[in-house]
Structures are given as C-alpha cells and as structure tokens.
C-alpha cells in the first residue's frame, strides 16, 4: 500500500490534518488506536477560537464542523463574588469564536472526513514508524482482526497525543523537553446542571473555580484543590459548598446530578523541534498546555493547517520550504500560547488563595486582574490572545 501522508491519531489534530488534506485532494490514511465510539466520546472543554473558526471557513468546513454553536465572546470573571465581563467584541467585525465541546468537534470532523471520502482506520494496533529520516517512510500496524499492514508514504503526521508512538519513536537526544509543573491541582466535576450564561471563572480566598457549558443541559465545573487530594476527598456536598463559596452564587450542581469526578495536576511541556525527517508532530504529541485559556485544542488546529499548507506546497510545486519551517512556525505560536496560559493560570490562582504563593503575589495578581478592567490596551491584548489573533 502507498499514500502521501499517514496520519497517526484521530484526535482534533489528526482529524483536522486529514480533513484539510482531503479538501486539497491529497491522499492520506488515518490510523487510530481506539474504536470510533471511544474517540467520539472523549470529553474535553472547548472554545474554538475566532482564528480557528475563520480557518474552517476558508477551507469550506465551518458549517459542517462548528456550525450551530454560537458564542458571544464574553467571559465572566467573578472576583470575590462580584462579576466582571471580559469580552472579545470590537476586535473583529464579526467575531467568530464558538463554544463547541471537543467531542462534538471530533464527531463532526470524522463525519466530514468520511463524507469527503477519507480513509480513517480505527482500532489500528501496534503502529510503528520506520525510515522517517529517509526518502520513503513506512508505517506498519495490525488491524482489528490482527492482520498486519504496511503503508509506504512521503510524510507522517504524528497526531497521537502525549503518550503516542510518534514522538516516542524519535531517538533519544534528538528532542529537548521543556516541562513545567504549575503546582496546582483541579477537581473536574461533570454534572447534569444548567450551563452558565458565559464561561465563568471565579477568584476568591477559597481558591479558583470555574463553570463551563458542556451542552445545552450539562455543565463542567473546576475547583482548585489541595495537591494530593483525590476525587474521594470531594463528596458532592463539599463540592456544592465550595462552589457556593467561590462562585458567590447557587450555580453549583443540584444534588444527585454529578456524573463524573476527576483530579488532575496542571502541567505544561514543549518538545523541540517538532519535525524529525519526514515525521512532523502536530498537537499534543509535541506539547501540553495547561487548560486555562483553552488553547490546547486551538493550537492543534493551527498546526494542522500549517502542516496541510506545507504538504500542498510540496505536492503541487515540489516546494519543501513550508515543511522545513514547520517546526519553527508552530513553536512560535506554541510558546505564545504557553505564555498566555501560564499568565492566566498564575493570575487567577495567585489572586485567590494565597497560602501557596503568599500575600505579596496575591496583590500583584489582583493588580494584573484589575488592569484588564481599567486599561483598554490590557483588555485588548487579552482579547487578541483569546481570539487567537496575536
């Protein structure tokens, strides 16, 4: 078998790469380890930034992929129970960000790829990459029936996330990792509770909290929790009591509506460079961004486009400049978004519970937060980053 691009992984990154390549008429095969149903159910938060929506529009995919999920671009920050609205309006004539849950985006990207005649292979086990630094890489895998396959290709897009095989197959010493532990843990609570009017972030003495929509009737809550706590330390009553204290309202989940609880630690990492021979890493395979600011998925979408355009130049014109600069171009935005995410993480945590960082840092964080309401330039810079325009 032969194709132009083998895409490993069918998350937002891999599916977007495939979707764009299909629009260009460039042959590609997607190999995904999990069954389609599993991939479609994986829940994550999702603001599709203005820039990414524009991108889908340019490629003629917006209606099918992010249609029907309006977002007015307003974010609410509640400081000690008092509401402040941060908004992206005024940045562009037509603000195009969407509040689209990631699993919906994934489901729709799969549907769009299949409609466009895409070759998506789920339950592809034991994917291995060979000869990526040579002229003709080969990707091997085993299908659901245990039958071995081999695909020769010109390029491999490593879109298989932080624990995938793509980055792992690059020899030691080639990549440099830049990890960072924010020293913060969040409890995620999924509940059948009414979503907030705007994505809501809350700062208070009790610690950070957030409330996001995850559908018309369901919510996702986040609570900063002490390091070392597990989900069992947070029974529903405690969750409700703390949400009330932090949000300054009764917007928490009504009794008996919590469907899932999980604790995770905020961390970030970047692996450089993002290319190795004919293997190019896209999305989480190359970096993890802490969830604050919602940039992880948006960065993956950006990189998918940079990659697709570079492949187009190679296939149409024999021009490999785009692929040669792929890593540098992507890393520039990756670090820009890392900085934004860290800036926001620090501000919204330090301004609250100061047992970790102390009273001086608390006041600095509050000054930073206040500036978003008192300085137009500051608010503008924030909005630009939220929209993906900076």
Nearer to ligand APR, 14 or 293 (CB): 14
Q: What is the nearest approach in angstroms of ligand APR to the Cβ of residue 110?
A: 11
Instruction: Give the integer Cα–Cα distance in Å for 388 and 47.
Output: 11
Nearer to ligand APR, 44 or 312 (CB): 44
Q: Does the protein bind ligand APR through residue 310 (CB under 6 A)?
A: no
Choice from 5, 6, 8, 203 touching ligand APR (CB under 6 A): 8
Cβ-based neighbours of 318, under 8 Å, separated by 6 or more: none
**Strands (DSSP E) along the chain, which ranges?**
5-8, 28-31, 47-48, 74-79, 82-87, 98-99, 119-121, 125-130, 138-142, 148-152, 155-158, 176-191, 200-203, 209-213, 219-225, 258-272, 275-276, 279-281, 287-288
Q: What is the nearest approach in angstroms of ligand APR to the Cβ of residue 44?
A: 5
Nearer to ligand APR, 242 or 268 (CB): 268
Q: Does the protein bind ligand APR through residue 165 (CB under 6 A)?
A: yes
Q: What is the nearest approach in angstroms of ligand APR to the Cβ of residue 16?
A: 8
Q: What is the nearest approach in angstroms of ligand APR to the Cβ of residue 179?
A: 16
Q: Does the protein bind ligand APR through residue 157 (CB under 6 A)?
A: no
Q: Does the protein bind ligand APR through residue 287 (CB under 6 A)?
A: no
The values of phi and psi at residue 68, to 5°, are 80, 20
The contact pattern for ligand APR, residues 110-129, with x = CB under 6 A and - = no contact, is --------------x--x--
Place of tokens 């970047």: 270
DSSP strand pairing (82-87 vs 74-79): antiparallel
Choice from 26, 33, 272, 347 touching ligand APR (CB under 6 A): 33
Choice from 65, 104, 139, 297 touching ligand APR (CB under 6 A): 297
Cβ–Cβ under 8 Å, residues 165 and 8: yes
Helix axis angle, 296-317 to 12-23, nearest 10°: 30
3-state secondary structure of 102: helix
3-state secondary structure of 384: helix
Cis before 130? omega within 30: no
Neighbours of 267 (CB within 10 A): 15
Q: Does the protein bind ligand APR through residue 300 (CB under 6 A)?
A: yes
Nearer to ligand APR, 283 or 352 (CB): 283
Q: Does the protein bind ligand APR through residue 149 (CB under 6 A)?
A: no
Choice from 3, 5, 6, 9 touching ligand APR (CB under 6 A): 9
Choice from 31, 201, 263, 311 touching ligand APR (CB under 6 A): 31
Q: Does the protein bind ligand APR through residue 388 (CB under 6 A)?
A: no
Q: Single out the residue of 304, 305, 303, 323 nearest to residue 313, CA to CA.
A: 323
Neighbours of 321 (CB within 10 A): 11
Q: Does the protein bind ligand APR through residue 10 (CB under 6 A)?
A: yes
Q: What is the nearest approach in angstroms of ligand APR to the Cβ of residue 173?
A: 22
Interior/surface letters 151-162, b for 16+ CB within 10 angstroms, e for the rest? bebbbbbbbbbe
Q: What is the nearest approach in angstroms of ligand APR to the Cβ of residue 49?
A: 12
* Stretch near ligand APR under the rule CB under 6 A, chosen from 199-207, 220-228, 266-274, 277-285: 277-285
DSSP strand pairing (219-225 vs 209-213): antiparallel
Contacts to ligand APR by CB under 6 A = 8-14, 31-34, 39, 44, 102, 124, 127, 159-161, 164-165, 283-285, 296-297, 300
């Amino acid at each position: 078998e032969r194709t132009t691009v083998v895409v490993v992984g069918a998350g937002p990154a891999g599916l977007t790469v495939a979707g764009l390549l299909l629009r260009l008429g460039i042959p590609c095969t997607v190999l995904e380890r999990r069954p389609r149903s599993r991939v479609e159910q994986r829940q994550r938060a999702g603001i599709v930034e203005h820039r990414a929506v524009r991108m889908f529009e340019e490629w003629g995919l917006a209606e099918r992929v992010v249609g029907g999920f309006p977002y007015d671009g307003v974010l609410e920050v509640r400081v000690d129970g008092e509401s402040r609205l941060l908004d992206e309006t005024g940045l562009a004539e037509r603000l195009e960000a969407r509040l689209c849950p990631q699993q919906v985006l994934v489901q729709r990207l799969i549907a769009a790829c299949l409609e466009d005649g895409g070759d998506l292979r789920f339950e592809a086990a034991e994917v291995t990459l060979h000869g990526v630094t040579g002229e003709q890489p080969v990707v091997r895998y085993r299908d659901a029936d245990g039958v071995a396959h081999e695909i020769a290709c010109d390029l491999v897009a490593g879109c298989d996330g932080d624990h995938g095989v793509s980055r792992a197959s690059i020899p030691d010493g080639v990549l440099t990792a830049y990890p960072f532990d924010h020293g913060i843990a969040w409890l995620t609570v999924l509940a059948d509770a009414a979503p907030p009017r705007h994505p809501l972030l809350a700062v208070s003495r009790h610690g950070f909290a957030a409330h996001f929509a995850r559908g018309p009737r369901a919510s996702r809550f986040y609570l900063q929790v002490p390091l070392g706590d597990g989900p069992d330390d947070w029974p529903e009553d405690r969750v409700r009591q703390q949400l009330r204290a932090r949000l300054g309202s009764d917007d928490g989940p009504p009794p008996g509506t919590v469907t899932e609880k999980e604790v995770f630690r905020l961390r970030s990492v970047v692996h450089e460079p993002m290319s190795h021979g004919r293997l190019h890493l896209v999305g989480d395979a190359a970096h993890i961004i802490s969830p604050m600011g919602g940039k992880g998925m948006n960065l993956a979408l950006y990189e998918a486009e940079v990659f697709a355009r570079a492949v187009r130049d190679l296939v149409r014109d024999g021009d490999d400049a785009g692929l040669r600069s792929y890593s540098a171009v992507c890393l520039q935005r990756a670090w820009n978004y890392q900085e934004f995410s860290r800036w926001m993480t620090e501000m919204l945590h330090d301004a609250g519970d100061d047992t970790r960082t102390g009273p001086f840092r608390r006041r600095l964080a509050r000054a930073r937060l206040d500036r978003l309401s008192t300085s137009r330039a500051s608010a503008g810079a924030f909005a630009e980053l939220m929209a993906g325009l900076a």
